[in-house]
Structure 1
Amino acid sequence: MVHVDERGSWRTGATLRLTAGRLGEGRLGGRLGTAAAVTALHVGIGMALLSTFAGGVIAETVRDALPTMWFAPPAPPPKPLPTVEPNAARDKQQIKVPDKGIDLNPGKDLFLGANDKVTPVDPGNLTIGGGDLGGDVGGLGPTPTPSPTFTPKAARPRGDAGLWITRNDYPTRAIRENWEGLTRLRLGIGADGRVTGCEVIGSSGHDELDRAACAKVSARARFDPAIDKDGAKTAGSFTTAIRWQITD
């Protein structure tokens, strides 16, 4: 018989010795009983061991092998969103334009410079929301029409310039002395087309020929006066040359 003390230790040795001593004192015919008793003792020990392992070690092994599982409780359903109802009064709200005109502070003047002054706008004729913009803003008048522009023109001879000096104008002394040459002149032309001045800018080499050229051209030449960019007649100048030559 197997005994287990309070600490769980085995005490089978004393029991086996006691049983074997008692069996040795019997008859020879009692050996069969002794063998049966030993066999039963072995079976009891085996069953005790099996029971111990099954109830202790095996149970602990199985309990340690089983996983520990934990299931969280299901989440509560979400709360429904509040329903927003349209505000009928707000939808029907209208924006009103004030009847009062815009105050442009007419009591103050706007100065752009030392002498430049802008007249303030009269707010009496300025309305918003279907009104008209009346009056002249800032005292401005109608847009001025731009003046036409002209291409400036120089003075031009009027008629045949070859008739300004003829063969009869050749000085007698110059013919006798056989004087020839080229006289270059710059003529001043007034706004009326007449010659206002004569300047010799290239001499023929003979003063008498040069003086004759200025005198005859100034008396006979006529011009279409010069025109400025505004289309008005203006004073100008004209350059010409007179060749003095004696022929048979």
Structure 2
Amino acid sequence: MIAKLRIVAIASTLLLTAFAANAAEPGARLKSANCNVPDYPRGWQDEDLQGTVRLAVLVGADGSVQDAKVIESSGHRALDKASLRAGATCKFGATPKDSDRSSVWATVQYKWVMN
């Protein structure tokens, strides 16, 4: 049973998309991000919790997340909260020192799937 739970936790797939959403730099792109994959507790398997959560994250010039909020809920509060916790730990590539960008909003998406 433990091996199966590990597979389910790994199958809780993280899909990440990041793009600048700043009016001053409409075509700008952020460097890719490293984000933690949220845990999928045993109890969620019994409840068959699945869904997609989209977050808006405010990325500072150093690449760290300064703020995060749910912009599209999975319909499950537990998945939304776990996604917020993981999204807050994302680390994007830092902005070049010659750039005038201080911070920018990006989108991070977590897709929770049980296989």
Alignment match of 2:36 (pick from 153, 164, 175): 164
Give the structure 2 partner of residue 218 of structure 1. Answer: 88
Query: CA deviation digits over 1:74-113, x for unaligned, max 9?
Result: xxxxxxxxxxxxxxxxxxxxxxxxxxxxxxxxxxxxxxxx
Give distance in 2, aligned partners of 1:231 and 1:198.
Answer: 23
TM-score by length of 1: 0.32
Give distance in 2, aligned partners of 1:154 and 1:237.
Answer: 11
Q: 1 or 2 for the larger relative contact order (CA 8 Å, sep ≥6)?
A: 2
Give the structure 2 partner of residue 194 of structure 1. Answer: 64
Q: Structure 2 counterpart of 1:239, which letter?
A: T
RMSD of Structure 2 on Structure 1 (CA): 2.4
CA-CA distance at 1:203 after TM superposition: 0.5
Q: Percent identity?
A: 28
Instruction: Looking at secondary structure, tell me which structure has more strand per residue.
Output: 2
**Structure 1 residues 231-242: aligned runs within 5 Å:** 231-242=99-110
8 Å contact kept, 1:155–1:189: no
Give the structure 1 partner of residue 55 of structure 2. Answer: 185
Q: Secondary structure at the match of 2:84?
A: helix
CA-CA distance at 1:198 after TM superposition: 0.9
Query: CA deviation digits over 1:187-217, x for unaligned, max 9?
Result: 1111211011111011101000000011012
Give the structure 2 partner of residue 25 of structure 1. Answer: none
Q: Secondary structure at the match of 1:212?
A: helix
CA-CA distance at 1:224 after TM superposition: 2.1
Q: Secondary structure at the match of 1:210?
A: helix
**Structure 1 residues 61-72: aligned runs within 5 Å:** none
8 Å contact kept, 2:87–2:108: no
Give distance in 1, aligned partners of 2:100 and 2:83.
Answer: 31
Give distance in 2, aligned partners of 1:231 and 1:196.
Answer: 18
Give the structure 2 partner of residue 246 of structure 1. Answer: 114
TM-score by length of 2: 0.65
Unaligned runs of 5+ in 2: 1-24
Instruction: Looking at secondary structure, tell me which structure has more helix per residue.
Output: 1
Q: Structure 2 counterpart of 1:244, which letter?
A: W
**Structure 1 residues 61-210: aligned runs within 5 Å:** 153-158=28-33, 161=34, 164-165=36-37, 169-210=39-80
Count of paired positions = 89
Unaligned runs of 5+ in 1: 1-151
Give distance in 2, aligned partners of 1:172 and 1:191.
Answer: 37
Q: State the 4+ residue runs in structure 1 displaced beyond 3 angstroms.
A: none
8 Å contact kept, 1:182–1:203: yes
